[in-house]
Structure formats: structure tokens, C-alpha cells
Amino acid sequence: MYYILFVEYWYKNTRLSASRFTHSGIYHCCTFCSSGGKKEIICGCRGTMPGGYKGCGHGHIGHPGFNHWSCCGSILRNGRCLIIRKTMHQLIL
């Protein structure tokens, strides 16, 4: 028996449904503010803060300087989500 795994990366194009590009996060200024100061919250912008915070804060390393989506870091309020969709398929031969 052979197992073949296929990993498909879904990029943004017109052939895929628009629902694949909706944001799964929140549009916020930073994770510090939107989470009420929780240290374990991370953000798609990959920003970090000193003091053990895993997420972004105003003016800290990686913060885009604008409001942005927590899922992908995009600063465009009405834009598509930038996350590359990944789907795994398994075929058993």
C-alpha cells in the first residue's frame, strides 16, 4: 500500500471563491490593545514587544505602524486576507 500526500497552496486568484479570502482575525491597532494586554496573543504582522509579549504593540519591532488584520498583517481594511490557504489530500493506492 502506498500513501501519497499532496499539499496544495491556494493563492489568491479569480478562480477561487471569495470566501477563501475573508479575514479570520480582527482589524486592530495592536495585539496589546485588542487583547487587553495578554502576553500570549500573537499577530499576523509578526510584531513583538519587550517584556515577554508575543504580540505587537505601537512602535515596537515588526508593528506596521497602522491598523492591521491580526490574521495576516494586512493594513488594507477591505482587502483580501494574505494567508496562503493550505489543504492536504491523502490518496491510498
Are 28 and 56 in contact by the 8 Å Cβ rule? The answer is no
Are 55 and 41 in contact by the 8 Å Cβ rule? The answer is yes
Q: What is the pLDDT of residue 2?
A: 37
Domain ranges of the chain: 1-92
Q: What is the pLDDT of residue 13?
A: 39
Q: What is the pLDDT of residue 44?
A: 95
53-70 residue pLDDT tens: 999 999 999 999 999 999
pLDDT average, residue stretch 16-26:
72
27, amino acid identity: Y
